[in-house]
Amino acid sequence: MNEMNRRHQSNRLSGQIRRSMNIKLRATKINCTTFFARNFGPVPYFDVDLQKTVDLRSYLQTDSRKPGVSVFMRLRNAEQFVETTVESIIDHVDELVMVHNGCTDRTPEIIESCRLRYPDRIRIFEYKPAVFVPGSIEHSQEPMGSPHSLVNYYNYALAKTTRKIAIKIDGDELYLDKPFKQLTDDVRSGKRSTPIGIFGINLWDENGEILVNARHPVLSGLDKGFFTVSPRTFFVHYRHYELFTCAFKRSAGIIFYHLKGMKKNRGIGNYCIQPGATTFSAAKVAGLTSPGLASWQEFSLQMGDSENLPHPASLGLRARQSP
């Protein structure tokens, strides 16, 4: 019976990996936002610095931007891993724009210490208006051009970048040094064209062991990848969260580990998941709070790529012990 369960779990994990890695399955889902970007007129954007509504597209003109690669990060209570994220990418990018909002932890202090170490590459901004979180009723009803909209907050971070190529990175991701450097160098030089998507492995820890989220083992998302900034690349409103208008139909493969499931609160503090108050489905909430888990060894075996995927512990990650 145990052997049958093991095989069932292995087959299930293989299927989840294949589905996660199949970008074509997402093509129809992102066509709507691509259409939106191509056919929309002026994009309503509330510039919180100017305190007025303007056309976002004026901030996204490619010709007015410098060559190179910008990273933009939006941060709320990211103290646990944000420094790890910064150190994994900072040597390979031309600019890192960090925007924090509503933090009640040490995130602002930590990122300021990062800026002092890399003053020529890191720029920090605070987005001061209160922002409605993903999955909240308030978000679902808030116009994208409102200062309280998650969409406006994302577009604010993007608008602060100054380079021709950009990538959104979260404060709970650890990038693999060699593949990230190679990919960044390639897109900067034009050897690889944009847009190009990236994948990450969703890690979780339990009882002192680093595991993989078997429900969603591989993270891609609709906004994970390098893109050339233009008036057609921006965030738009969706009922549960934001959507990006750029379609990543090609992928550079796995180049980071996603650490949300290793956070003290599993990262769910930045979402609304309360019963009766969330717009998320029960399946979505379950995926955020209690996914099935697979060992790293099992995941590596199913990927068939263990040599290029170092064990997280070898990169300095440590699982928390159970209370």
Coil, helix or strand at residue 69: strand
Closest to 232 measured CA to CA, from 38, 30, 31, 14: 38
- Residue 211 belongs to a domain: yes
User: Model confidence over 271-284: pLDDT tens digits?
Assistant: 999 999 999 999 89
Q: What pLDDT, on a 0 to 100 scale, did the predictor assign at position 30?
A: 46
> The tokens 């590596």 sit on which residue?
300
Share the mean pLDDT of the chain: 89
Identify the weakest region by mean pLDDT among 53-62, 105-114, 216-225: 216-225
- Residue 59 belongs to a domain: yes
- Residue 179 belongs to a domain: yes
Q: Where are the beta strands (DSSP E) in the chain?
A: 44-47, 52-55, 66-75, 95-100, 122-126, 163-168, 173-175, 196-206, 209-213, 218-219, 225-228, 235-237, 242-244, 251-261, 293-295
Residue 238 in tokens:
């969706």
Neighbours of 190 (CB within 10 A): 10
- How many separate domains does the chain show? 1
Q: What pLDDT, on a 0 to 100 scale, did the predictor assign at position 222?
A: 79
Confidence of residue 308 (pLDDT cuts 50, 70, 90): confident
Q: What pLDDT, on a 0 to 100 scale, did the predictor assign at position 38?
A: 63
User: Model confidence over 239-296: pLDDT tens digits?
Assistant: 999 999 988 888 999 999 999 999 999 989 999 999 999 999 998 998 888 888 999 9
Calculate the alpha carbon distances from 65 to 68, 173, 181 in Å: 9, 27, 22
φ/ψ (deg, to 5) at 106 = -90, 15
- Residue 323 belongs to a domain: no
- Residue 320 belongs to a domain: no
- Residue 321 belongs to a domain: no
Whether 85 and 258 have beta carbons less than 8 Å apart is answered as no
Whether 121 and 95 have beta carbons less than 8 Å apart is answered as yes
- In our burial notation (b when 16+ CB lie closer than 10 A, e otherwise), range 248-274 reads beebbebbbbbbbbbbeebbeebbbbe
Q: How far is CA 248 from the centre of its chain?
A: 14
Q: Give the domain extent around 263.
A: 2-315
In angstroms, the CA 14 to CA 65 distance is 42
- Residue 322 belongs to a domain: no
- Close Cβ partners of 55 (under 8 Å, ≥ 6 residues apart): 42, 43, 44, 45
- Rg (Cα) of the chain, in Å, rounded? 19
pLDDT above 70: residue 321: no
Residue 285 in tokens:
């909430």
pTM across the whole model: 0.90
In angstroms, the CA 156 to CA 56 distance is 9
Residue 252, CA atoms < 13 Å, CB-side half-sphere? 26
Q: What pLDDT, on a 0 to 100 scale, did the predictor assign at position 182?
A: 97
pLDDT above 90: residue 22: no
- Residue 44 belongs to a domain: yes
In angstroms, the CA 268 to CA 186 distance is 35
